[in-house]
Amino acid sequence: MLYIPFTDEQKILANSVNLEEFLRMRGEKLERVGREHKLIYYDSSGRHDSITIHGSTWFDHKNQVGGGAIKFMQEFYDMDFQTAVQELLGQRVTPLSHSPPKAIAKEEKKEFRLPQANTNMHRVYAYLIKQRFISPDIISYFAKQHTLYEDKEHHNAVFVGIDENGVPRQASKRSTNSYGNSFRITCQGSDTRYSFAHFGESKRLYVFEAPIDMMSFLTLYPKDWQKHSCIAMNGVYENAVLTALKNHSNLSEVILCVDNDEGGIEAVDRLRDILNENGYSNVKCRPDKLTSQIYAAFKNKQYKYLAEYALALYH
């Protein structure tokens, strides 16, 4: 193939292409799950739905690999770098194969390593307090537990999932950039049986899609919050929830706190079925009506969605 000297701007543009829109235009099937989408495809072994996509980023939960748009084209469609960039920039159109690429099928599981920590958390505190209105006390609690910190390379917020022995097993990064495109991605090598969480002594487990959703809820309802348990799924995958229930025998009541939209409603139905199949029948979700206190708490439009699932049960 003729070598094409792409400029840095072209490479950045290609890697930031919205994969959700690109794949839909190319005829791929995407299924909404919360604020992400699952890529659905079939081959001789049946249905596959382990890949989640959010904007220009993706993660394969089965093979523990992820990245940006260019890497997706290389890994999933087995394209070389040149072809991948051309496709994403619209310079060429080739038939897309639904077969999983050899690169993913043969790739060994990556070793899990936490991103290197920054010497302070100034940017994470500023972002979570000023942009997301999270209580400083809530932030400080998780920082002291070493499950929230700021990475050194890009000053992202890092949310850590630890196992029953306190060993980090999973981590996700969230951009603290207030301008341009934000991103969330699970770190390579993460064990998805674990996730950002807090475990108390009561029987109640609150389940959220993302860490910031969880921290926002705790900000709204700070009274005695530590006696309850809460966990963020980093999407709507149930692995971490099932592990938490298995490892904490005091938990018998599950409250699903997902967005009150089409994707969230579908996620609630799916998660309820999975939990019921695993012996957990006491599963609740959103309240029947909204409370005026929630609207009064957050008038910023970014937080109106919280009012749609904030639970009056929490006290």
- Residue boundaries of the structural domains of the chain: 8-106, 122-307
How far is Cα 315 from Cα 74, in angstroms, rounded to an integer? Answer: 49
Structure tokens belonging to residue 292: 């005026």
8-106 placed in CATH 3.90.580.10: yes
How far is Cα 106 from Cα 63, in angstroms, rounded to an integer? Answer: 9
At residue 192, the pLDDT reads 85
pLDDT (tens digit, 0 to 9) for every residue of the chain, 315 residues total?
A: 555 678 888 888 998 899 999 998 888 889 887 678 888 887 666 777 888 898 888 888 776 677 889 989 888 888 888 888 988 988 665 555 544 444 444 445 578 999 999 999 999 999 999 888 899 999 999 999 999 999 999 999 999 999 999 999 999 999 998 665 567 788 888 888 999 999 999 999 999 888 998 998 899 889 899 999 999 987 656 889 999 999 999 999 999 887 666 666 667 777 888 888 888 989 887 543 333 344 455 554 444 444 343 433 333
Residues 157, 140, 258, 307, Cα dihedral to 10°: -120
At residue 120, the pLDDT reads 95
At residue 254, the pLDDT reads 94
Q: Is the fold of 8-106 the same as that of 122-307?
A: no
Structure tokens belonging to residue 110: 């990556």
pTM above 0.75, yes or no: no
Element (H, E) at 75: helix 69-76
Instruction: Determine the topology of domain 122-307 in CATH.
Output: Rossmann fold (3.40.50)
At residue 288, the pLDDT reads 33
Burial 271-295 (b: 16+ CB within 10 A, else e): bbeebeeeebeebbbbeeeeeeebe
Structure tokens belonging to residue 134: 């999270």
What are the beta bridge partners of residue 46?
A: 43
How far is Cα 57 from Cα 205, in angstroms, rounded to an integer? Answer: 29
C-beta separation of 221 from 314 below 8 A: yes
At residue 286, the pLDDT reads 53
